[in-house]
Structure 1
């Protein structure tokens, strides 16, 4: 199903670079030429999530990604207050470090969706220049997000203990169930995911990283309004099998975002870019071709943040009947 060449983690790690963000060492990757394309990873993994798409995308774009603070091979300070807003600051600092001047296109996943929402809000406020944004499975609307038990426990008063006892077996048990039944990670992939999570004892700060769940509630209205403004072309590609942010998140997206461009992939879970990367690549390329001449609305529509739209045709909305190609 995947049909794209992987980049082994050991090779991926050798291709990274470091820069300093607020006194912390951040690992990042960059390749290719063309429009800047910022890839923003999810929780609890890292930029290696994009390795199937990295080479094909770098043939068309200048592809940029980092392990965010607290993730992967970047710094993981123990007593830090981790914040989605700070992670958005990090993305902008990385772009400045790389002297990126032109509008930035964004492809984001999960936790990274929330960082992308913050960047989109900054675009509308004149503090960031975004060319387009594609979301993969993520909690775009906190009222629709269905947290796993382990996430709820990490948010509880015993969260610090849950993080310290979280191990490779826990990853297999809790993480694997968010994938499609036929697209779960192999044992070697789980080993690699665990290597990134546990680097610098990162599993010991999972309870701090998971604070993004209540933080989404704080910023929810501002972020949703930004998505409703129509100033940046958006697409939502979603693996329907995801129990956390699957088909139900697409339904909410269609209720709240005008003229929603959504693609629902049956039998695929929370990580469509690793479960069916060739299809995600095709969907992303089709999106970029379709919005090449996009012009933002002069007078963007405003919707009440909790309004339910009446039934109407969903522009460019679709369900993939087979994700096997």
Structure 2
């Protein structure tokens, strides 16, 4: 049975507000039980998780925010955006909600890098991560294959490219990275675009894209954390994603001891919207393994 969507207009009405370092952050939380932190990707927002929200809320205390510069949160123009600061934001949100238990993390894309930073901080005893699942993201800079728009945003003319970015540009980019049979509808594209253009978000896209070189700076620290093996990890990955699909998973299997990976055939960069039922199935299976004898999963 397909998972029910939450319309963006309904999602927005459920938002709450946190002030982080003087900036307004929109966040969502519901459910009871073990805390589960959902971390979204670039260039979209936490609405990316809407198909999974209700099923996860039935089992966990689910928490998500639009990170600084994304979605309905503040998008200050005169600001240097950093993955490390986004990790600070996630910790501030957990503190705001008085979360004291170990936190489970489910992340995607840009959010994978924030999750990697939180994982590194776990081993530095700065936060307690109970488990982490990564969806398609640039876990290793050497396997990341940016699309043309990302390359242009990183160029000296990035500020101009960002300001000229349009819904049509988003459609072209998403057409490249989604699976051929699971591309977003026109209505979904309207909603994705709304989240990007809110608060004049195109003006800062060239600033947000600096996460790509920042990943290279942090690579060794983050990979070292993933290789420690004390925190349960899984990758659930859309196989045909040209940015971070099967080739990224192959590198993961080379570098991470006892790798736990799931490949979703025919699925692209946004598995949580392209195949939410499969993502939910493999995520809950992963969590159930934490309370029963583990077994390795190789493919979908």
Task: Kindly indicate whether residue 143 of structure 2 is the aligned counterpart of residue 163 of structure 1.
Answer: no
Q: Does 1:227 align with 2:207?
A: no
| 2:50 alignment partner in structure 1 | 51
Between 200-209 and 66-75, the greater mean CA deviation after superposition: 200-209
Instruction: For residue 63 of structure 1, give the secondary structure of its aligned residue in structure 2.
Output: strand
Query: Across the two proteins, how many residue pairs are aligned to each other?
Result: 300
Compute the displacement of 1:317 (Å): 3.6
User: Structure 1 length as normaliser, TM-score?
Assistant: 0.91
Q: Report SS of the residue matched to 2:144.
A: coil
- How many angstroms apart in 2 are the aligned matches of 1:175 and 1:166? 13
How far apart in 2 are the matches of 1:262 and 1:56? Answer: 22
Contact 1:145 / 1:244 at 8 angstroms: preserved in 2? yes
* Counterpart in the other structure of 1:112: 111
CA offset digits 1:82-114 (Å, max 9, x no partner): 000000000000000000000000000000000
Give the Å deviation of 1:203. 1.1
Shift of 1:292: 2.3
CA contact (8 A) 1:124 1:231 kept: no
Aligned-partner Cα distance in 2 for 1:293–1:219: 34
Shift of 1:204: 1.2
Residue 294 of structure 1: CA displacement?
8.4
Q: CA deviation at 1:171?
A: 0.6
Is 1:39–1:108's contact at 8 Å kept on the other side of the alignment? yes
* Structure 2: tracts of 5 or more residues without a match: none
The aligned residue for residue 265 of structure 2 is 266
- Hey, what does 2:70 align to over in structure 1? 71
Q: Deviations over 1:103-148 (max 9, x none)?
A: 0000000000000000000001111100100000000000110011
Q: Distance in 2 between matches of 1:286 and 1:204?
A: 41
Q: Could you tell me which residue of structure 2 aligns to residue 316 of structure 1?
A: 296
What is the correspondence of 1:154-303 to structure 2 with a 5 Å cutoff? Answer: 154-292=153-291
Structure 1 unmatched ranges of 5 or more: 296-314, 321-325
Deviation at 1:319, TM superposition (A): 1.8
Aligned to 1:98: 97
- Cα displacement string for residues 31-62 of structure 1 (whole angstroms, at most 9, x for unaligned residues): 00000000000000000000000000000000
Aligned-partner Cα distance in 2 for 1:199–1:181? 28
CA distance in 2, matches of 1:252, 1:316: 17
Question: For the residues of structure 2 that align with 1:176 and 1:97, how far apart are their CA atoms?
Answer: 38
Match of 1:125 in 2: 124
Distance 1:241 1:124 in 2: 33
Query: Residues of 1 paired with 2:256 and 2:299: CA distance?
Result: 17
Runs of 4+ off more than 3 Å? none
TM-score when normalising by structure 2:
0.98
Deviation at 1:149, TM superposition (A): 1.0
Other structure's SS at 1:244 match: coil
Quick one: distance in 1 between partners of 2:43 and 2:297?
Answer: 29
